[in-house]
Amino acid sequence: MHIDLSFNRITGKLPWGLGQLHNLTKLSLGPNQMSGEVPDDLYNCSNLESLSLGENNFSGLLKPGIGKLYNLRTFKAGFNSFTGPIPPEIGNLSQLITLSLSGNRFSGLIPPTLSKLSSIQGLAFQSNALEGAIPKNISELKHLTVLMLGLNRLTGPIPDSVSKLEMLSHLDLHSNMLNGSIPTSMGALNRLMSLDISHNHLTGSIPGSMVSSMKSMQIFLNLSYNLLRGNIPVELGMLEAVQAMDLSNNNLSGVIPETLGGCRNLFSLDLSGNKLSGLIPATPFSQLSVLMSMNLSRNELDGQIPESLADLKHLTTLDLSQNQLKGKVPESFANLSSLKQLNLSFNQLEDQVPETGIFKNINASSLIGNPGLCGSKSLRPCSKSSHSLSKKTLWILISLGLVFTLLILVVVISLLLQCARKSKAELIENETRIHFSIETHKV
């Protein structure tokens, strides 16, 4: 017997009496607007194989009676208002393939009895208030393909036992309080399609050996908002199929590796909020033909903005703010019709800003902090000299002027000295003549 009441607007509490439906194998009650506690007699439906209570407003505890539903293969109770601990009796559901308790207010530890769910493939506990360490015996869930533990209060390091879940394709541990380094043993997770360990307190470097083993990654890699340091590993270029990569807000240093050009399926790249230095490499970025969003802001990048960035015909958002970039704003950016958001603020850019394309209506905040820029509506007007002469040319002219002035001074001083010597000689000669004339007169 199947009962499917999902996708309606049913309100009120779940009535008693469902426990008398001994032949009930599937009960689907969400999404709806039901509330209250789940009646205990529901746990008498021992033939239930699928129970979906998700996306309602059920509240109270998840009772130990859930452990009596031995035939349950799918249990979804996500996005309700359940509170209290996850009952350890849930480990009795040995036939369970999918377990979703996300989006509730469950607290306490992740019960170690979960290791008894030998058939489980999908485990979703994100968006709760779970705490403590990730159980080491989680490695016994050999068939697990999806593990979602993000947005909790989990602490401690990422255990090596996670690395033994070799069937994993999606791993989400973001927004917890995990610490320690990223285990190199995670390289064993070579079927991962997405990895999110962002917003934790992870330290150390990004293991290149781990990255090189994750060539199957096709969705995203998110290591942002940690305390990671060292260089960006060149092995990231081996993730040819990854669509989004976020390494922002760490302490990464060194240059942007040329190998990133190997990520040919990349739609979004965020390296902002680090300590990256050197030039923006032109070659790798010109190879990212489907790139739509790139953020390199809040680093220590210098040199000129590569003209080749304008070859990224799908680029809609580009943020290069708060670096040490120099030179002109590339004219070619004005021809990039896809570009909708551009931030070049707080650099050392100079000369006239292009007047067409995105620059027609560019916001003043996108150019602020570049004293050498001129020409935009929000900037000072460009003088003729600033149009025709670069700063380097002006310095050359000033230097030549100084040299010329010094030469003139040398010539003038030389002439004055010569005149002084000549006058002195004439004076001596006149004195001699007068003296000779006086002596002759006496005689």
Question: Rounded mean pLDDT of 280-299?
Answer: 95
197 and 117 within one domain: yes
pLDDT in tens, 1-29: 999 999 999 999 999 999 899 899 999 99
Residue 217 placed within a domain: no
Is the pLDDT reported for residue 143 higher than 70?
yes
Is the pLDDT reported for residue 333 higher than 70?
yes
Question: Rounded mean pLDDT of 177-196?
Answer: 97
| Nearest of 79, 70, 71 to residue 52 by alpha carbon | 79
**What phi, psi does 58 have (nearest 5°)?**
-65, 145
What's the gap between Cα 167 and its chain centre?
Answer: 27
Q: 428 or 60: which carries more pLDDT confidence?
A: 60
| pLDDT for 422 | 64
**What phi, psi does 424 have (nearest 5°)?**
-65, -40
* Residue 65: Cβ-neighbour burial (10 angstroms; 0-12, 13-18, 19+): middle
266 and 415 within one domain: no
What is the sign, positive or negative, of the torsion defined by CA atoms of 175, 178, 184, 190? Answer: negative
Residue 213 placed within a domain: no
243 and 191 within one domain: no
Residue 145 placed within a domain: yes
- Contacts of 43 by beta carbon, 8 Å cutoff, 6+ apart: 19, 63, 65, 66, 68, 69
CA distance 59 to 140: 31
- Contacts of 135 by beta carbon, 8 Å cutoff, 6+ apart: 110, 112, 114, 115, 161
| pLDDT for 383 | 78
262 and 197 within one domain: no
pLDDT in tens, 385-396: 544 445 556 667
3-state secondary structure of 160: helix
Residue 230 placed within a domain: no
Reading the block at residue 351, the tokens are 């000369």
Q: 418 or 425: which carries more pLDDT confidence?
A: 418
* Strand ranges, E, within 328-405: 341-343, 348-352, 372-374
177 and 79 within one domain: yes
User: Mean pLDDT in the chain?
Assistant: 91
| pLDDT for 386 | 42
- Contacts of 241 by beta carbon, 8 Å cutoff, 6+ apart: 215, 216, 217, 218, 265
362 and 319 within one domain: yes
Domain boundary among 388, 411, 429: 388
269 and 158 within one domain: no
142 and 14 within one domain: yes
Reading the block at residue 27, the tokens are 């009960």
Given a contact cutoff of 8 angstroms between Cβ atoms, the answer to whether 65 and 40 are in contact is: yes
312 and 384 within one domain: yes
Domain count, the chain: 3
| pLDDT for 423 | 59
Given a contact cutoff of 8 angstroms between Cβ atoms, the answer to whether 368 and 374 are in contact is: no
pLDDT in tens, 43-62: 999 999 999 999 999 999 99
CATH code (residue 320)? 3.80.10.10
Is the pLDDT reported for residue 196 higher than 50?
yes
| pLDDT for 400 | 75
CA distance 171 to 52: 23
75 and 191 within one domain: yes
Give the pLDDT band (50/70/90) at residue 436.
very low
144 and 278 within one domain: no
Residue 221 placed within a domain: no
pLDDT in tens, 55-91: 999 999 999 999 999 999 999 999 999 999 999 999 9
Domain limits at 359? Answer: 236-388
170 and 88 within one domain: yes
Residue 302 placed within a domain: yes
Question: Rounded mean pLDDT of 367-393?
Answer: 75
Given a contact cutoff of 8 angstroms between Cβ atoms, the answer to whether 360 and 337 are in contact is: no
Is the pLDDT reported for residue 410 higher than 90?
no
| pLDDT for 391 | 56
Residue 210 placed within a domain: no
Residue 226 placed within a domain: no
Domain boundary among 187, 203, 219: 203
Residue 70 has what DSSP assignment? T
**What phi, psi does 400 have (nearest 5°)?**
-60, -40
